[in-house]
Amino acid sequence: MDITKVTLRPVSMNKVCAIASIVIDDAFVIHDLRVVNGDKGLFVAMPSRKLPNGDFRDICHPINTETRNRIQQAVLDQFNIEGGIDAFAAAVATAE
């Protein structure tokens, strides 16, 4: 599995810094991954939806640690290439 494209857009939602989309093997896209600035640093959260009872459930997610790490590394690498937390916070501030 190769992550062939990562796109990011800045957002300001609690601890979410950016929303990402990834393309896998130039054949499959996953939208709405979230770059989160958590208590232990940045991480990538999978797309999810809110259930009627208020819980959240992932729409899709990796089934092993290796794949999760590959996705997270690709997204965070691109996030850092595009300037990291400061650049995305500035982009949100400029847009408001």
Determine the structural domain holding residue 88 and report its residue range. Answer: 3-95
Give the domain CATH number at 58.
3.30.1120.40
What is the average pLDDT score of the chain?
Answer: 94
* Residues 14-54: tens digit of each pLDDT: 899 999 999 999 999 999 999 999 999 999 999 999 999 99
Total domains in the fold of the chain: 1
- Alpha carbons 96 and 88: distance in angstroms, whole number: 13
Rounded mean pLDDT, 66-73: 97
C-alpha 28/C-alpha 22 separation (Å) is 8
HEC sequence for 30-47: EEEEEEEEECCEEEEECC
